Amino acid sequence: MQNAAFRELELDYAYLAFRVPKELLKSAILGMAGLGIVGLNVTIPHKLEVMKYLDHIDEDALLIGAVNTVVNRDGELIGYNTDGIGAVEALERSGIQVKGKRIAILGAGGGSRAVAFKLAESARSITILNRTKSRAVALAKTLGKKRNVEVKADRLNDDTLATTLSEIDLLVNATSIGMWPNTGVSPIKKSLLPRGLTVFDIVYNPVQTQLLCDASEKDCRVVEGVDMLVYQGAAAFELWTGTRAPIEAMRRAVMDNLRRKIKS
């Protein structure tokens, strides 16, 4: 995706993947500054640990408690989190305004935190549902302190889903349920999905998760996780380069890659 963007704009950059063991994370980040690397993405399991080795951390990333993008500005390393930006952009580019919406988010992990903090900037209410209720409650408490929004939390099960789904405008699956290779499962029974609900699944592989397939059959409006992947990547691209990201070129690269994986 990023290399496709660089080619599209004829920028002299290359995006490479490096596997970094936890015990070498500090030296890897210091090496980034020493080598003059412009920026990088940080993936699980380093999104929290990396914050110790940065010079500055963006306010949103501090609230979320995780960094997925690092920018090297003249030797100073600055951490950002673009996941929430990508989620809001995916929704709004699909014609769905977040402002005033009643939203339920499934999951209380890192992806959920990033999405919740960004959506809470303009949502009417946020409900966090998680299999471990204590984690949902902890996230809801933090969210309520930092954002001016009505927040609720509960255990994720059929009973709480049935109640919650009747009261919301938008459902966000921020769990990994339905991700490849476990593609035939969904966090919600099809029978519980009300018609007309907007359903957003941040899982992008497969593009059409079981949840989204079920939602489409119930005449729900669906937003794919690929959209969030592309827009969070575009936000990182713009932080690194100061140049507007070529969205369509990035999307084509992602879709081509996913199609090749399906064929293989």
Give the catalytic positions in this structure: 47
Tell which phi-psi region holds residue 184, choosing left (phi > 0), alpha (psi between -120 and 50) or beta: alpha
CA nearest to 51, candidates 79, 72, 31, 27: 79
**Cα–Cα separations (whole angstroms), residue 210 to 44, 52, 204, 207, 251:** 24, 38, 12, 10, 22
> Per the omega criterion (within 30 degrees of 0), is the bond before 194 cis?
no
Contacts of 216 (CB under 8 A, 6+ apart): 222
What is the rounded CA–CA span in Å between residue 27 and residue 140? 35
CA angle centred on 69, ends 254 and 33, rounded to 5°: 120
Angle at 43 between CA 41 and CA 46, to 5 degrees: 110
What element of type H or E holds 228? helix 225-241
Rounded to whole angstroms, the Cα distance separating 227 from 207 reads: 10
Q: Scanning the structure block, which residue is given the tokens 């954002």?
A: 147
Element (H, E) at 249: helix 247-263
